[in-house]
Homo-oligomer: A and B are copies of this chain.
Amino acid sequence: MPSPRDVDLRVDLAGILLPNPVMTASGCAAAGRELDAFFDVADLGAVVTKSIMLDPRAGRPTPRMAETPSGMLNSIGLQGPGIDSFLGQELPWLARRRARAVVSIAGSTLGEYAELARRVGSSPGVSAVEVNISCPNVANRGMVFACDPYQAAKVIAVVRRDVPRGVPVFAKLSPDVTDLVGVAEAVVAAGASGLSMINTTLGLAIDPGTLRPVLGGVTGGLSGPAIRPLALRCVWQVHQAMPDVPIIGIGGIKTGFDALAFLVAGASTVQVGTVIFHDPGAPMRIVAELRDELSRRAFTSAAQVVGLAHTPATDSLAATDLEGLRTP
């Protein structure tokens, strides 16, 4: 059994080399600065920054969150300082700290996405771009881009055009669709280097005091361990259909084993989101736990397990004497 030290966690994600497969999820780590009090953000696979829009945004009214069983709802409404402030202050900080930055962008029109792609694409210190397409499309009666393969593909096409070749572009998919594989195929055909899955699923909570929706935004995004089985299913289905497309697995990851489950389901890397709120040290704890989970199963690298669950179980693996597998 290789010692945890000997496990090679490095992964190649659509051409970018990361020291390990654990990233923070957009909107759950701001731009990394606050987490630096809990661990060195440069030790992460990458920091994915909060989705940034062109202009400053005040977001939605409060309450913006509701706790739900093993999860939470949020309706932040993409509050943020706008791209100028982001590129001027936050991105340089990450670069100075030598952290890998994946910049998440969000727009309400194709034009906004294109403009953001130009601005971000021409900035130094961007490892990759993640395109948050779970935004209402003002030109299409507010229908969310991610829910329509055609509109989703158009966003990716305009972004891809303006981001330099060496910088991969990830499309972040919503699970709230009938045909997820269809959306995935459309955005890959439009030039996405890979897929981030999943964004939150739409939910609602009722306030016991007012008997009205808790959230200022009425509905909100459900996240956390509650949605992990849903996220794993999405990763599984898309990897099954398109085994060569790099996937970033996201949704309720809390432990190193959860990260491993996403890798074997077909993800090349993972993002940790809501669980950071529970445990600010979670991302680096998960890196260490993933190392252990791999080592006790006699794997020598993270890369080798990607998609493993799609292959038939071998006896040797099933028989590995894991703690927790009892022989009475």
Interface residues of A (CB under 8 A from B): 66, 68-71, 73, 147-148, 176-179, 201-206, 208-213, 218-219, 222, 224-230, 232-233, 236, 252, 257, 260-261, 264-265, 297, 305, 308-309, 313, 317-318, 320, 322, 324-325
Contact = CB atoms under 8 A, between A and B. Distances in A.
B322 A208 contact: yes
A232 B211 contact: no
Contact of A69 (B177, B252, B257): B252
A163 to B, nearest CB: 28
Contacts of A147: 178
A205 B309 CA distance: 11
B208 A232 contact: no
A71 B212 contact: no
Max chain B CB contacts within 10 Å: which of A204, A211, A318, A320?
Answer: A211
B211 A317 contact: yes
Contact of A232 (B203, B260, B265, B308): B203
Max chain B CB contacts within 10 Å: which of A68, A219, A222, A233?
Answer: A233
B318 A210 contact: yes
Given A232-B205, A317-B210, A226 B265 contact: no
A229 B178 contact: no
A275 B92 CA distance: 50
A305 B220 CA distance: 23
11 contacts: A69-B224, A176-B178, A177-B178, A202-B233, A203-B229, A204-B229, A204-B232, A209-B318, A209-B325, A212-B313, A225-B226
